[in-house]
Chain A
Amino acid sequence: MKKHTLAVTVENRPGVLTRVTTMFRRRGYNIESLAVGATENPAISRITIEVAGDDRIIEQVTKQLYKLVEVIKINDLTDARSVDRELVLIKVKADNSVRAEIVQIVDIFRARIVDIGRDSLIIEVTGDSRKIEAIEDSLRAFGIIEMVRTGKIAMIRGGK
């Protein structure tokens, strides 16, 4: 099933995120990723939700979200010309024998090493899902100890 990215503009009030996630749980839709944060207007927050589903499911999700009183606007950023990014931290096993190789991979993906331990490195990567998946694949052979993702955020290109 195709993944959709919905940018949901909501009132910045306590409990709004619960209302949104409760709707997903209650109607049986699955959230693939979720990112919440302030916008340029302090009274408004933006929830970026990635959800898998066919067009009919996404239409239902959108309509049900609109029924929430504190939801102001929903943009489906999937087909729109949009920029999306996610930030990931990956802790990977790295003894002296493989460090050089890992550094090379980090360079290729324009990622950064943000911490060096005795037998491990923490790598910070920013990018779209494909880039994140690609670096994850490349690093897997060395042994990923821990990985954390922020959830995707997205924005429409141009003046809109």
Chain B
Amino acid sequence: MKLKGAEILLQCLQKEGVDTVFGYPGGAVLPIYDALYKSEIRHILSRHEQGAAHAADGYARATGRVGVCIATSGPGATNLVTGIATAYMDSIPLVCFTGQVGTPLIGRDAFQEADITGITLPITKHNYLVEKTEDLARIVKEAFYIARTNRPGPVVVDLPKDVMEKEIDFEYPEEAINIRGYRVVKGYNSNQVITAVDYIQKARRPVIYAGGGVISSNAAEELRELAEKRKIPVTTTLMGMGGFPGNSYLSLGMLGMHGTRYANYAIGECDLLIAIGVRFDDRVTGKIDTFAPHARVIHIDIDAAEIGKNVEVEVPIVGQVKEVLAAINQRLEAIELEELSEWHETIDRWKEEYPLRYGDSSEGRIMPQHVIEEVYSLTQGEAIICTEVGQNQMWAAQYYQYKHPRSFLSSGGLGTMGYGFPAAIGAKIACPELPVIDIAGDGSIQMNIQELGTAVQYRLPIIICILNNHFLGMVRQWQGLFYGGRYSFTDMSHQPDFVKIAEAYGAVGRRIKEASQVREALEEALKVKDRPVVLDFWVEREADVYPMVPPGGSLMNMLGGD
């Protein structure tokens, strides 16, 4: 069959099971958009390419499938960069197609030419420049395979305009992928599993430290089984939220800089740390040589390069988290386990003594934590919560109990302000039956507020809760704590009327200044079914996120929340 490059591309996408793409047209991708015009693939038009990248990322996080976005050459492609880096840091499978000038023009500084494969080299799992239409199908197939297997990540495929225009005889390459330098990790070292089980059996004060790997490996069930079988307390990273039910008696909530005191104390006192799908990030460990100082460490991860990167471990296990946990569980089945009552008593005492808590407002305003508590109370964990970055993100992690994997979408590694709202668009398109709520700050929401256009166009009932303190709150908090209270350029009092902005776009907007109205406003918002709702909560201006481990400090020395 004779097909143009662009038509081959769409056929390949359908072979990969892609039903939705996020994108923004432009000169170099005209052939692709012409093919999309008559295609069954659903295209969601963002208002900025960064929005398309984050939406594809949100779609991927909510479903576990590969997210797809398209941008034109030059500025279209460079606008994707923050979205690609965000996905890379959090190991999210994306395939990003970028237009490129025609092959005869490459390297000549043509109009809207950018070296996007060069630019994205350190922030992609792999990238391709397709030089011949004949290579296109194989490359697209490889791109999806690389994006979703092993440790997932974004792949960029750069598509010169003439490669998309050219017509060739086409037959889909059905043969299996064979990339010499890329092998999917299969199995695990079973001797290490035996050692791990032995350590688990002998441990008196074990803790599980679970991260994003549990979610990307779809291993929440296996994790729950392991924790419940041995009655091991579980703390999750920001990326691991929802990987273990937050309302379980074994849950310690989040650990690290803004973790709970009891999670961090448990890390400090444990004699066995079972690290699952995590990378010992500095926001988690604090001062690395005081992290889990009394513990032997079992580290399970699909990426061999993560093991031993930041800490030395006793039992390294490279493999799919799901498979390895299943093997450990099976072996534990046959073993007699003693009760860990002393350890549980210690933890219960910490939980009682140091619960997450916050004070009353000093100025009669809404407390931001209260908004999150009400969101939880109304949705009971049966919703997808997206966040921006900063205080809003930490409160959303602390005061909402995530029960399901893929229910908390947040830029953990890169910490991208402006991530949450477009990600919510991707999540809502993937999961229309679930409430999707973006917890935002007044700073972050302004970074991609243009996507209100997208959400209105596609009639997406997303709720945006702006915790509006008229500050870049987290930076202000650090200025207060570590820079003598000099609030340098963090005052955001000069801001637009968010209600009017919402209304101008055709969304619902509402300002809430009274704590007594928070619940009712959320209830009303949850009833809206055909458009986004912007709730502008005016919250306590100088509320801080506590508890807190000062940067570079030990987890045992926390500020606040005592």
Task: Find out whether the CB atom of B118 lies under 8 angstroms from the CB atom of A18.
Answer: yes
B432: chain A residues at CB < 8 Å are none
Would you give the shortest CB distance from A97 to chain B, in whole angstroms?
53
For B306, give the chain A residue with the smallest CB separation.
Answer: A63
Residues 302 to 351 of chain B near chain A (Cβ within 8 Å) = 303-305, 308-309
The answer to whether B180 has its CB under 8 Å from any CB of chain A is yes
The answer to whether B378 has its CB under 8 Å from any CB of chain A is no
B121: chain A residues at CB < 8 Å are 18-19, 22
Would you give the shortest CB distance from A76 to chain B, in whole angstroms?
15
CA gap between A111 and B15 in the complex, in Å: 62
B172: chain A residues at CB < 8 Å are none
The answer to whether A95 has its CB under 8 Å from any CB of chain B is no
For B151, give the chain A residue with the smallest CB separation.
Answer: A67
Residues 1 to 43 of chain A near chain B (Cβ within 8 Å) = 10-11, 15, 18-19, 22, 26
The answer to whether A71 has its CB under 8 Å from any CB of chain B is yes
Count of A-B residue pairs with CB < 8 Å: 33
Would you give the shortest CB distance from A116 to chain B, in whole angstroms?
42
Which of A10, A66, A69, A71 has the most C-beta atoms of chain B within 10 angstroms of its own C-beta?
A: A69
Residues 47 to 100 of chain A near chain B (Cβ within 8 Å) = 56, 59-60, 63-64, 66-72
Task: Find out whether the CB atom of A11 lies under 8 angstroms from the CB atom of B181.
Answer: yes
Known: A11-B181, A15-B117. A64 touches B122 (CB 8 A): no
The answer to whether B182 has its CB under 8 Å from any CB of chain A is yes
A22: chain B residues at CB < 8 Å are 121-122
Would you give the shortest CB distance from B163 to chain A, in whole angstroms?
16
The answer to whether B179 has its CB under 8 Å from any CB of chain A is yes
- B165-183: CB near A (< 8 Å → 1, else 0) gives 0000000000000011110
The answer to whether B146 has its CB under 8 Å from any CB of chain A is yes
A66: chain B residues at CB < 8 Å are 304-305
CA gap between A66 and B307 in the complex, in Å: 14
Would you give the shortest CB distance from B32 to chain A, in whole angstroms?
23
Known: A18-B118, A18-B121, A19-B121. A63 touches B180 (CB 8 A): no
- B113-149: CB near A (< 8 Å → 1, else 0) gives 0000110011001100000000000000000001000
B118: chain A residues at CB < 8 Å are 18
Count contacts on A: residues with CB < 8 A to the other chain: 19
Partner of B304, one of A56, A63, A69: A63
Task: Find out whether the CB atom of A71 lies under 8 angstroms from the CB atom of B305.
Answer: no
- A115-149: CB near B (< 8 Å → 1, else 0) gives 00000000000000000000000000000000000
Task: Find out whether the CB atom of B309 lies under 8 angstroms from the CB atom of A72.
Answer: no
Task: Find out whether the CB atom of B181 lies under 8 angstroms from the CB atom of A71.
Answer: yes
A10: chain B residues at CB < 8 Å are 181
Residues 365 to 391 of chain B near chain A (Cβ within 8 Å) = none
Task: Find out whether the CB atom of A69 lies under 8 angstroms from the CB atom of B179.
Answer: yes
Task: Find out whether the CB atom of A59 lies under 8 angstroms from the CB atom of B180.
Answer: no
CA gap between A67 and B309 in the complex, in Å: 14
B309: chain A residues at CB < 8 Å are 60
Task: Find out whether the CB atom of A67 lies under 8 angstroms from the CB atom of B122.
Answer: no
Task: Find out whether the CB atom of A67 lies under 8 angstroms from the CB atom of B308.
Answer: no
A71: chain B residues at CB < 8 Å are 181
Partner of A69, one of B117, B122, B181: B181
Task: Find out whether the CB atom of A72 lies under 8 angstroms from the CB atom of B305.
Answer: no
Task: Find out whether the CB atom of B126 lies under 8 angstroms from the CB atom of A69.
Answer: yes
For A19, give the chain B residue with the smallest CB separation.
Answer: B121
19 cross-chain CB contacts under 8 A: A11-B181, A15-B117, A19-B121, A56-B308, A59-B308, A60-B305, A63-B304, A63-B305, A66-B304, A66-B305, A67-B305, A68-B181, A69-B125, A69-B126, A69-B179, A69-B181, A71-B181, A72-B180, A72-B181
Pick the 6 closest A-B CB pairs, nearest first.
A63-B305, A69-B126, A72-B181, A69-B182, A26-B122, A72-B180
Q: Which residues of A contact B (CB under 8 A)?
A: 10-11, 15, 18-19, 22, 26, 56, 59-60, 63-64, 66-72
Q: Which residues of B contact A (CB under 8 A)?
A: 117-118, 121-122, 125-126, 146, 179-182, 303-305, 308-309
